[in-house]
Structure 1
Amino acid sequence: MLSKVDGPVRLADRVAAVLAEEIESGRLSEGDKLPTEVELVKQLGVSRTVIREAVSRLRNAGLVEPRQGRGVFVLPRRTRPLDLETDAGATGTKAKVLQIVEVRSPMEGEAAHLAATRATASDLARMRKALDAIDAAVAAGGDGVAEDLAFHRSIAESTGNAIMVSTVRYLGEVSHAGIRITRANEARRGDFFEAVREEHHAILAAIEQRDPKAARAAARRHMEHAAARLLEAGPEFWDSAENLDVDLDTAP
């Protein structure tokens, strides 16, 4: 029987840690079925939304596999992939988000560099459409996170490098909450929001101009400025950021 989960740390993180410990310790072994969602809600004393997010984290960490109509099963032990939401251990939200930006910076830079040399006319049109979708989402009252990710993914897709595409997609999935926090910070101030918009357009402009060096520089500058904007955020913002939960099942 699992103990109820409470405390100031994000509940989904705590639930994921409890379930991961059950797996790592061998109490749940390869092929075992996790308790049902209803059972986990009752045992852990949290909502179904929290359980679903926690299971999503375990899935992204390569520990479990949902099987349609059958439940969630423990996978064979193997080298675990990166999980940027939880691998930082006790590191606080601010530090984790900044680490995500550091990881994305060189990857986004190289993707933009390659896109500037390889993108087709249809690739450029898809990037432009993705960029316009960010403005449309924000104008409609959304946070633009999914659209932001789609824009960066469209750049990676235009490289023609399947490993690049998979890596950028994976980084987007496991750092979805971090990107949401970054955009929440940028939405606090009009100058931040406009700066982000200009940075995105600068990346696309360099790619359209077939200038790989400028495209790489623009993408990395965007990441560096994102980090700088996060560093400017005060304690009040980071206190509220702890509650910006996101269900990874909805990540694109």
Structure 2
Amino acid sequence: MRQEADRLSDRLAQRLARQITTGALQPGARLPTEQQLAQTHGISRTVVREAVHQLKSLSLVVSRQGSGVYVATAPAHQPLVFDPRVLGSVEAVVHVVEVRRVLEGEIAALAAERATRSQIAGMRRQLKAIDLAVAEGRDGVAEDLGFHRLIGEATGNPQFRLLLGFLEQYLREGMRITRGNEARRLDFMQAVQLEHRAVVDAIAARDPAAARRCAVDHILHGEQRLVEGGVIAGRRKKTSQPPSQGRPP
């Protein structure tokens, strides 16, 4: 199952990252081969490749063609690493929501200023991909992450793309908890897509303030849906209503 593979790759990436940052794996050391890691940890080579990709995104390892994967020389700055062992907790879900609220509001505002027509068209196509995933009985998490990634790319700032790519591995679990709740209530999924469309409409209208507001509202309402579904305890008063057109009662 894809979700389980994601969790396994997260765990392996964290385990290897910890060995690198603590010095158990020294700069210049060669990582075991894909096959060796797969056998040692009882996982597939696909999972190993995904874990190594995460380490590369953190600049912890580098590939040498025909030779293998090696621990990178000590970086000038300590890489940002979250511990996925705690991200399945309720408290961690709330913390990640708070990070998203701050980050994605500004990303949406910048996208409203800089997105090209083709990028906006891509966002609308991604919304259809989310609809299709839900119609086919899938949770749509990958498609949802892809939607937010497109908004990040539309800022034209590669650092946002890198940061969102890094955060994705830690957002998945929180999104699955949310989506598992949403799957039990059709109005939740309808509201999510209305909120997504409001963000895209604001970006297309070149309205940074509206894009920021819609993106922040989307994250806030996601937290409220967790509260209403009993996944987390209420932490704040109910947020303002999302865009009214077509909003389920």
TM range, smaller chain: 0.7 to 0.9
Q: Is 2:99 aligned against 1:83?
A: no
Check whether the contact 2:60–2:72 (CA below 8 A) recurs between aligned residues.
Answer: yes
Unaligned runs of 5+ in 1: 1-9, 237-252
Deviations 1:156-176 (A, max 9, x none): 333333433443344335534
- In the TM superposition, 1:12-161 aligns within 5 A as 15-44=12-41, 46-48=42-44, 52=48, 54-67=51-64, 69-78=66-75, 79-84=77-82, 86=83, 90=86, 92-161=88-157
Aligned-residue sequence identity (percent) comes to 47
- Indicate how the Cα distance of structure 1 residues 174 and 191 shifts in structure 2: closer, same or farther if over 3 A, else same: same
The runs of at least 4 consecutive aligned structure 1 residues that moved more than 6 Å come to none
Match of 1:221 in 2: 217
SS at match of 2:139: coil
Unaligned runs of 5+ in 2: 1-6, 233-249
SS at match of 2:32: coil
- Indicate how the Cα distance of structure 1 residues 48 and 69 shifts in structure 2: closer, same or farther if over 3 A, else same: farther
SS at match of 1:34: coil
Q: How many pairs align?
A: 224
Check whether the contact 1:114–1:212 (CA below 8 A) recurs between aligned residues.
Answer: yes
CA distance in 1: counterparts of 2:148 and 2:38, whole angstroms: 36
1:144 to partner: Cα distance: 1.8
Deviations 1:112-156 (A, max 9, x none): 222333334333322222222211222233322232122222223
1:177 to partner: Cα distance: 4.0
- Candidates 207, 230, 236, aligned match of 1:211: 207
CA distance in 2: counterparts of 1:235 and 1:209, whole angstroms: 35
Amino acid at match of 2:67: R
SS at match of 1:62: coil
- Candidates 187, 190, 196, aligned match of 2:192: 196
CA distance in 2: counterparts of 1:24 and 1:181, whole angstroms: 30
Check whether the contact 2:124–2:200 (CA below 8 A) recurs between aligned residues.
Answer: yes
Check whether the contact 2:112–2:211 (CA below 8 A) recurs between aligned residues.
Answer: yes
- Indicate how the Cα distance of structure 1 residues 208 and 27 shifts in structure 2: closer, same or farther if over 3 A, else same: closer
How well do the aligned residues superpose, as a CA RMSD in angstroms?
A: 3.2
SS at match of 2:105: helix
- Indicate how the Cα distance of structure 1 residues 209 and 56 shifts in structure 2: closer, same or farther if over 3 A, else same: closer
- Indicate how the Cα distance of structure 1 residues 204 and 31 shifts in structure 2: closer, same or farther if over 3 A, else same: same
TM-score normalised per structure 2: 0.73
SS at match of 1:175: helix
TM-score normalised per structure 1: 0.72
